[in-house]
């Protein structure tokens, strides 16, 4: 094979549709653009969602919902997760090292799910009322 022998596969290339080239082509006169109007003219187009001056749908509908960016950097840890960690003093760095929360997490809260049978001391970590009671019942504390 040589460079002068290479050609595309059969059917891969086809002639471009030539518009505005006479009545026999099927796309003569208006060239498939219909009659008159902004869309029939050269350069005549408008932005997505434009409704000819009528108030667009995305502005007619009421605004709803909100996603807090702070939630992206928050995480939950269960009592059973705390049970599995070997350390007695638990803070954010210990949780990250153990792999229970991601590296970008800034806020952690302990929720009451599972059992805790050993003493743990939480530093800089929040806890729900039920989780706090369970930690204190096991001899630990939430600082």
Q: pTM for the whole thing?
A: 0.52
Q: What is the CB-side half-sphere exposure of residue 38 using CA atoms within 13 A?
A: 8
User: What confidence score (pLDDT) does residue 90 get?
Assistant: 94
Domain ranges of the chain: 69-142
Let me know: does 82 contact 91? Beta carbons within 8 Å. Answer: no
Q: Which of 3.40.50.80, 3.100.10.10, 3.40.50.150, 3.30.830.10 would CATH assign to domain 69-142?
A: 3.100.10.10
Distance CA 143, CA 126 (A): 9
For the stretch 35-67, pLDDT in tens is: 999 889 999 888 899 998 999 999 999 999 888
Distance CA 56, CA 93 (A): 50
134 burial via Cβ count (<10 Å: 0-12, 13-18, 19+): buried
Which among 90, 96, 126 has a CA at the least distance from the CA of 108? 126
- Averaged pLDDT for residues 133-138: 94
């Amino acid at each position: 094979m040589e460079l002068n022998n290479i050609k595309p596969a059969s059917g891969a290339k086809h002639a471009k549709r030539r518009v505005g080239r006479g009545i026999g082509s099927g796309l003569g006169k208006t060239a498939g653009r219909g009659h008159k109007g902004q869309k029939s003219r050269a350069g005549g187009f408008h932005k997505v969602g434009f409704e000819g001056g009528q108030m667009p749908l995305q502005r007619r509908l009421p605004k709803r919902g909100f996603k807090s960016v702070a939630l992206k950097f928050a995480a939950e840890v269960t009592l059973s997760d705390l049970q599995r960690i070997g350390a007695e003093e638990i803070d954010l760095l210990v949780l990250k090292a153990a792999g229970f929360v991601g590296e970008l997490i800034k806020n952690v809260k302990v929720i009451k799910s599972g059992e805790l049978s050993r003493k743990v001391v939480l530093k800089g970590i929040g806890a729900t009322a039920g989780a706090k009671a369970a930690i204190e019942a096991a001899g630990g504390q939430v600082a």
